[in-house]
Amino acid sequence: MATTGSLISLDDVYRARERIGDRLHRTPLLRSGTLSEQVGAEVRFKAELFQRTGSFKPRGVLNKLATLTDEEKQRGVISISAGNHAQAVAYASASQGIDALVVMWQTASPMKIAAAREYGATIDTEAADIPTAFERLEELVESTGRTLVHPYDDPYVMAGQGTVGLEILEDVPEADIVLVQVGGGGLISGIATAVKGLRPEARVIAVEPERSPALHASLEAGEPVTVEAESIADGLNGPYAGANCVRVCTELGVESVLVTVVVLSAVAPTAIAERWFLPDAEREWRIDRRLAYAESEEYV
């Protein structure tokens, strides 16, 4: 890993890209004409929904798996996830003949649970909710001897996610602001390392749901803080930001904003993707969650 003072360096991100090789897609950076006009600046979206397994997650997982010894690979890997990391762990592990076990929870997306199983992982849904799932993960790491592929607080995972940042700046070298949605902080740590390494004057801003503000609270406190993570954006519900992630984001001067459910719901690309791609059962699950959420927020 990094030989300078930081936990991960720009070189680590380049090394991650070499390890990943051509196993993943180079996703497009799509311009939104409507948003660019509304905001008064060029707005683009890095379309990682078109990445293998449907998110950026296999970038970090492939980089991590490449560092395991043969013996570790034989013992298998373990992780925890709301669903996207689970699919990435399942997919990447299967591609290398590694056995994967992922802890999820009973209220997680049924489509993501099914997809991770189809990729070949064992999915454990004993836990009723996220905090219990994290406790269960600790027990299972201990009892199984599997190697933990942490969803965000692992330098190799962070460096792998940083390849998103390399691609953004290669496509738009003059980018002034990079906004990154945050759960536990792995994606933004990697992207900030790449972006600040290549263009120090660019701003990197963490965007978190008001109801899942782990990194925001941690940056304010100067140390990792545990929060109640109950946002409608299920992939962003990290109960705590990673200690490594907090450290990297602090060192690199990452800024942070919180957004309300109203803003989250207004994100048009997600809505469009849902309309086009989601099976009925998954769409219904999401609508139910939104209704419950709206009632609890007194928005109805």
Ligand X SMILES: Cc1ncc(COP(=O)(O)O)c(C=O)c1O
Closest approach of ligand X to the CB of residue 185, in Å: 5
186 makes contact with ligand X (CB under 6 A)? yes
Interface segment toward ligand X; rule CB under 6 A; list 165-173, 181-189, 252-260, 271-279: 181-189
Size of site (CB under 6 A) for ligand X: 17
The span of 9-17, 94-102, 115-123, 179-187 binding ligand X (CB under 6 A) equals 179-187
Task: Specify whether the CB–CB gap between 55 and 199 falls below 8 A.
Answer: no
Of 23, 25, 5, 8, nearest in space to 167 by CA: 25
Nearest distance from C-beta of residue 165 to ligand X, angstroms: 13
CB of 60 to ligand X, least distance (A): 8
Span from 15-23, 86-94, 180-188, 194-202 in contact with ligand X (CB under 6 A): 180-188
Q: Does 187 bind ligand X (CB under 6 A)?
A: yes
Judged by CB under 6 A, the residue of 167, 235, 240, 264 near ligand X is 235
In the list 184, 197, 213, 224, the residue contacting ligand X (rule: CB under 6 A) is: 184
Identify the CA nearest to 213 among candidates 174, 177, 171, 261.
261
Q: Which of residues 34-63 bind ligand X (CB under 6 A)?
A: 55
Indicate the residue among 188 and 264 with the shorter CB distance to ligand X. 188
DSSP calls for the chain: --SSSSSS-HHHHHHHHHHHTTSS----EEE-HHHHHHHTS--EEE-GGGSGGGSSHHHHHHHHHTT--HHHHHH-EEEE-SSHHHHHHHHHHHHTT--EEEEEETTS-HHHHHHHHHHT-EEEEEESSHHHHHHHHHHHHHHH-PEE--SSS-HHHHHHHTHHHHHHHHH-TT--EEEEE-SSSHHHHHHHHHHHHH-TTSEEEEEEETT--HHHHHHHHTS--B-----S-GGG--SB--HHHHHHHHHTT-EEEEE-HHHHHT-HHHHHHHHHH--HHHHHHHHHHHHHHHHHTT--
Amino acid at 41: A
Q: Does 224 bind ligand X (CB under 6 A)?
A: no
Return the number of the residue (185 or 224) whose C-beta is nearest ligand X.
185
Specify the residue for token string 């109960």.
239
Examine residue 85 and tell whether it contacts ligand X (CB under 6 A): yes
Q: How far is the CB of 126 from ligand X (least distance, A)?
A: 20
Instruction: Give the residue, chosen from 95, 125, 132, 181, that forms a contact with ligand X under the rule CB under 6 A.
Output: 181
Nearest-approach distance from CB 37 to ligand X, in angstroms: 26
**How far is CA 171 from each of CA 26, 29, 44, rounded to the nearest angstrom?**
11, 7, 11
- Closer of 69 and 210 to ligand X (Cβ): 210
Of 173 and 253, the one with the shorter C-beta distance to ligand X is 253
Q: Is 111 in the site for ligand X (CB under 6 A)?
A: no
Site for ligand X contains 225 (CB under 6 A): no
* Residue in 162, 197, 224, 238 binding ligand X, rule: CB under 6 A: 238
Q: Does 182 contact ligand X by CB under 6 A?
A: yes
Residue ranges in contact with ligand X by CB under 6 A? 55, 82, 84-85, 151-152, 181-188, 235-236, 238
